[in-house]
């Protein structure tokens, strides 16, 4: 929707003014902003400017959350005023504000605004909910930045326009935003930064599989690491064999695009640089045909997004390096492969022996994500000395059946880590729902041939089967959380802060986790 969005303290010079009112305030003389008659800028927090009063007096506007109305103020009516409804004051949340940020972005894009003064801090304070100006600004900034995402590099001559000299012409504007409240402004700047990271994730998700090959994903990780100051390394070829990365090796056999394990590291300055790192692991299947257990009908469409766990981890590392900058180390591991078919493809009935000695009977080559994640989990436990491990994966269709597109499935038996993930979920608006992990579920994965099998034909507890399988590759002394994001990584409707397509789910949650 925009070529770019940035925070700028000078944006108010040519700004559209954005103010918020609650449903209970929309027909009263409550806490509303006053406008300078000449410039249209906010000058006070009580009373009512004529433009705003006129706008909110319209019968069609009642202040319901996400609704909006426009007016014009200043000399000659040159200042556009957007009044956005915040709903009931006592129901205000950061999730509401994130949604409202998306609404604001849509209105600014439609108006082709180049600057916006967003004045919601007074309303937030008046709500009595205790939401800080910083948190409120961050939520609005996230919503604004997320709705601003555009991925049109795969559009061609039918869509893209050029001027007389053959130079491509963008129909979108560059937007500067600001606020008169310093803490709210700092929050907006933070939120926009988090949105940049999430949008990086979304663009990778959107990239088609003939472009986003295994080597492409490794190259994108390398380029991002160099840009933001992360350490980068990649394990491939003979190194995978030497380190017994049997999941990646076997799953990747059927594709000409060879598998690899990418490692990124954020190191803080100061005395904590040698502390135990949090390890983030992402399933990064660049395409999943199902292998020899071939997907049927249209089940293959959209499998370019089977890499979204890894995309989210890349986005999180970008946010950690550029926005959060925590005072503790963070390591990211991406298990990258393509699940395809040729004469060397791995088969149902194969047995794979992992570096930790666990043997796996392959019963379904379409349950490949857990096989490549197992390598990264083993490596994290063996080599990284982690304080905790969190993995993200589009792992099972079963979690979509269980939770739909509202919650990600969370499997975490460590109380302290689970509490942190839940707090980060609340802060980011990326919802998680705890699912059980009991020995009976682990027993479902026992094999009559090997130690365990990768998929039980019995569909009972399908999403839990995937987590139960992964548990065999995690040291029980290490806190571990598995997030199955299969239901939440794509938006299927165009509303709030998102359009149809990838959501970047997990990027902001992991960033908030590191900011706790």
112, two tokens:
């082709």
Alpha carbon of residue 337 to chain centroid = 21
Q: Which of 6, 53, 276, 295 is labelled catalytic?
A: 295
Taking the CB of residue 355, how many other CB atoms lie within 10 A of it? 17
CB 302 within 8 A of CB 497: no
CB 136 within 8 A of CB 186: no
Q: Give CA–CA dist 506/315, Å, rounded.
A: 8
CB 118 within 8 A of CB 188: yes
Q: Which of 305, 307, 370, 420 is labelled catalytic?
A: 370
Residue 508 annotated in active site: no
Torsion sign over Cα 483, 198, 210, 491: positive
Q: Give CA–CA dist 61/484, Å, rounded.
A: 40
Residue 256 annotated in active site: no
Spell out the residues 6+ positions from residue 297 whose beta carbon is closer than 8 angstroms to its own: none
Q: Give CA–CA dist 85/71, Å, rounded.
A: 14
* Angle at CA of residue 428, ends 20 and 190, nearest 5°: 70
Look at residues 115, 104, 83, 102 and name the one whose alpha carbon lies nearest to residue 7.
115
* Residues annotated as catalytic (active site), given as ranges: 295, 370
């Amino acid at each position: 929707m925009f070529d770019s969005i940035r925070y700028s303290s000078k944006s108010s010079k040519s700004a559209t003014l954005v103010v918020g009112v609650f449903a209970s305030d929309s027909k009263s003389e409550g806490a509303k902003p006053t406008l300078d008659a000449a410039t249209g800028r906010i000058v006070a927090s009580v009373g009512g400017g004529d433009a705003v009063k006129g706008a909110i007096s319209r019968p069609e506007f009642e202040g319901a959350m996400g609704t909006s109305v426009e007016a014009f103020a200043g000399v000659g009516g040159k200042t556009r005023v957007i009044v956005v409804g915040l709903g009931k004051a006592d129901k205000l949340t950061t999730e509401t504000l994130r949604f409202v940020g998306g609404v604001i972005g849509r209105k600014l894009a439609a108006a082709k605004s180049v600057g916006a003064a967003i004045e919601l801090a007074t309303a937030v304070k008046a709500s009595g909910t205790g939401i800080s100006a910083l948190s409120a600004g961050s939520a609005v900034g996230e919503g604004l930045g997320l709705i601003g995402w555009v991925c049109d590099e795969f559009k061609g001559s039918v869509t893209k326009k050029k001027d007389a000299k053959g130079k491509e012409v963008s129909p979108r504007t560059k937007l500067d935003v600001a606020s008169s409240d310093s803490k709210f402004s700092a929050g907006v700047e933070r939120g926009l930064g988090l949105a940049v990271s999430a949008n990086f994730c979304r663009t990778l998700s959107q990239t088609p599989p003939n472009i986003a090959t295994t080597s492409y994903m490794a190259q994108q990780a390398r380029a991002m690491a160099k840009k933001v100051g992360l350490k980068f390394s990649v394990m491939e070829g003979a190194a995978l064999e030497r380190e017994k990365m049997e999941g990646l090796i076997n799953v990747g056999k059927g594709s000409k695009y060879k598998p690899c394990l990418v490692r990124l590291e954020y190191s803080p300055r100061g005395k904590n640089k040698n502390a135990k790192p949090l390890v983030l692991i992402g399933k990064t299947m660049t395409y999943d045909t199902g292998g020899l257990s071939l997907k049927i009908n249209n089940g293959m469409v959209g499998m370019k997004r089977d890499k979204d766990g890894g995309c989210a981890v890349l986005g999180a590392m970008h946010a950690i390096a550029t926005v959060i900058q925590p005072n503790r180390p963070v390591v990211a591991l991406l298990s990258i492969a393509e699940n395809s078919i040729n004469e060397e493809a791995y088969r149902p009935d194969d047995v794979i022996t992992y570096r930790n000695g666990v043997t796996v009977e392959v019963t379904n080559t379409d349950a490949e994500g857990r096989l490549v994640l197992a390598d990264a989990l083993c490596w994290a436990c063996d080599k990284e000395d982690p304080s905790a491990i969190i993995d993200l994966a589009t792992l099972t269709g079963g979690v979509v059946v269980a939770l739909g597109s509202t919650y990600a499935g969370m499997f975490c038996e460590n109380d302290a880590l689970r509490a942190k993930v839940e707090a980060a979920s609340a802060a980011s608006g990326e919802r998680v729902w705890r699912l059980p992990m009991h020995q009976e579920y682990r027993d479902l994965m026992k094999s009559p041939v090997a130690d365990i099998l990768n998929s039980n034909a019995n569909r009972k507890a399908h999403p839990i089967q995937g987590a139960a399988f992964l548990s065999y590759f995690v040291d029980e002394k290490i806190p571990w959380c598995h997030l199955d994001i299969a239901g939440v990584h794509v938006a299927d409707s165009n509303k709030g802060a998102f359009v149809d397509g990838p959501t970047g789910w997990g990027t902001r949650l992991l960033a908030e986790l590191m900011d706790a």
